[in-house]
Structure 1
Amino acid sequence: MSLSKEFYIEYEGLLLPTETHSLASVKFAQEFHFKDDDVIAVTYPKSGTTWMQEILPLVLNGGDLTPVQSTVNWDRVPWLEETRLAEVVDKMKSPRAMVSHFPYNLMPSSFHSSKAKVIYVMRNPKDILVSSFYFHQMAAFLENPGTFDEFIDKFLEGRVLFGKWTDHVKSWKLAKIADRILFLTYEEMVQDLPAAIRRMSDFLCRNHSEDAIQKIAEHCTFKSMKANTMSNFSLVPKQYMDSDKSPFLRKGVAGDWKNHFNSEQDARFTSVIQKELEAAGLSFPYN
């Protein structure tokens, strides 16, 4: 992907969409003051960010549905690095919940000196690639992804939003922040959402009852979120995101990559990813 100033800004070697980011917004992020009770869900794009924007407020407030029924997700749990944060941050009540696509090395200095907690959600990069491929087709503020095979090459080379998946994962997996970070996978959330929410609740010292856990899980199903106008991005004008080309909340499943990769693409993709992770002493947990 050639860097197009119409679509992207380049920041610390990463491509960020100009529709939602600016040099001023990333400067605001770098100077952002983290509080000790802040919680931030970190994901590589298309790894469950919208899901976490639904779950986090409910875990933090005991299952009260008011924020997810009355406030759009990009305001209730804003992105650290996007332009919108500066507009809503003064209205956010503690404990504040945010999301970010930043790798660990781009987190602001106040994050490191605080006790703010991180929930890092990792997803099979093959499913990420498929989701991202469709997202590029429906989002007018992103360049055309080209063919699926071309997009695989762009993804592996890091010529996509927020760079290489392996670099992102390595930065957080190797971060030395001990009990301040909880690692979850998209796949375990799909398989047993109540169990994943229970882990989040315990990590954030909320210790919710089983009834509260079940209530949160029921509201945060793919079906429920797809029907929630505050969460399904249907309020975004069609000129920016055309759901006729592909819905924003497309499937919400694990393993859809098998319907898109051929055997050669699978072998090539897996080989590159495995080598890059193994070079850092990490294993690739997906087949």
Structure 2
Amino acid sequence: MILNDGDIEKCKRDFIDVKVPMLEMYLPGLRTSGIEQLEKNPSPRIVKTHLPTDLLPKSFWKNNCKIIYMARNAKDVAVSFYHFDLMNNLEPFPGSWEEYLEKFMTGNVTYGSWFNHVKNWWNKKEEHPILFLYYEDMKENPKQEIKKITQFLEKNLNDEILDKIIHHTSFEMMKENPLVNYTHLPSTVMDHSKSPFMRKGVTGDWKNYFTVAQNEKFDTIYKNEMSGTSLQFCTEIKGTKSQI
């Protein structure tokens, strides 16, 4: 929406995975791969990926591509990832929440360790044009964060356009938008009856899943893994904020 100056009609031209192809996406016999779709899209292109820094194609670094990295606190990521794997039929069944959390803490999940992922991207921004954003900040003050993106993309948008972007990219609007909520994919890929792709979009949902013992174990691992980094994550927005 920023690149299209808030023009809703332009943004409605196709599904999100066509407008913003996922680099590593490949669905045999079902859809065009991310790479094939990217080759069709005109420049300048937007590319989506969940890849860690060491798996990103070297051409991204060589060509000095601008990168926006959205980081989210580990506990909410674990809960969100668990529900995604429940409905994502391209992934193995995640098992129980208890089993999944153990795998998440040891990095035995898709894309590997959350800890290594955020730390490596955080460090990479020292040598590459990377805008490092926090999901929690976007939820708490979307206008402030969207302004950061407009500046990063060298766009100059007025408040009216910014407010329009905030409205149309809110979780509530996107959840009901068939162009971005992935309901257009067959249930053999994403089964929305198990869990919607756009599930809750809140900060602090982890409290509904973590037991006291799980939380204590997670905090111990977190402290060890994140020692020596200046990264600070917020695990809830409303009321008192706890930092991990």
Give the TM-score, by structure 2 length.
0.88
Q: Structure 1 residues 193, 224: CA separation in 2 closer, same or farther (over 3 Å shift)?
A: same
Unaligned runs of 5+ in 2: 27-32, 235-242
* Residue 249 (structure 1) shift: 0.5
Aligned AA for 1:86? I
What is aligned with 1:21?
none
TM superposition shift of 1:103: 1.2
Residue 142 of structure 1: CA displacement?
A: 1.6
* SS in structure 1 at match of 2:155: coil
For residues 144-199 of structure 1, the C-alpha deviation after alignment (integer angstroms, 9 at most, x for no partner) is 21221111110011110000001111111111544611111110111111211111
SS of the residue corresponding to residue 69 of structure 2 reads: strand
1:254 paired residue among 190, 203, 214? 203
Which position in structure 1 is the counterpart of 2:233? 285
Cα gap change, 1:205 to 1:271, in 2 (>3 Å): same
Which residue does 1:64 correspond to in 2?
Answer: 7
Alpha-carbon separation, structure 2, partners of 1:130 and 1:74: 24
Q: Write the distance in 1 (CA, Å) between the matches of 2:212 and 2:51.
A: 32
Per the alignment, residue 191 of structure 1 pairs with 140
Query: Which of 67, 86, 89 is the equivalent residue of 2:35?
Result: 86
Instruction: State, as a whole percentage, how many aligned pairs show the same letter.
Output: 36
**Residue type of the partner of 2:145?**
A
2:183 counterpart of 1:234: yes
User: Aligned-pair distance for 1:61?
Assistant: 1.7
CA separation of 1:262 and 1:284: change in aligned 2, threshold 3 A: farther
Q: How many residues align?
A: 229
Instruction: Report the Cα distance in structure 1 between the residues aligned to 2:39 and 2:231, rounded to whole angstroms.
Output: 41
**Paired residue type of 1:131:** S
Structure 1 counterpart of 2:16: 73
| Corresponding residue for residue 140 of structure 1 | 89
Name the one with the larger strand percent: 1
Mapped partners of 1:220, 1:246: distance in 2: 21
**Cα shift readout 1:17-66 (whole Å, capped 9, x = no counterpart):** xxxxxxxxxxxxxxxxxxxxxxxxxxxxxxxxxxxxxxxxx111211223
Q: 1: CA distance between counterparts of 2:40 and 2:88?
A: 29
Q: Report what 2:237 is aligned to.
A: none
Aligned to 2:68: 119
Letter in 2 for 1:61: N
CA shift in 2, pair 1:89/1:240, >3 Å:
closer
Letter in 2 for 1:285: F
Shift of 1:251: 0.6
d(CA) in 1 for partners of 2:164, 2:127: 30
Question: What are the ranges of 5 or more consecutive residues in structure 1 without an aligned counterpart?
Answer: 1-57
Please give the root-mean-square deviation of Cα atoms over the aligned residues, in Å. 1.6
Verify: 1:110 aligned to 2:53, yes or no: no
TM-superposed CA distance for 1:207, in Å, is 2.0
Structure 2 residue 215 is matched with structure 1 residue 272 = no
Moved over 4 A (4+): 176-179
Give the TM-score of the pair, scaled to structure 1: 0.75
CA–CA distance in structure 1, aligned partners of residues 87 and 58 of structure 2: 36
Match of residue 180 from structure 1? 129
Which one-letter code corresponds to 2:194 in the other structure? K
Partner Cα distance (1:265, 1:208) in 2: 45
Question: Partner letter of residue 124 of structure 1?
Answer: N
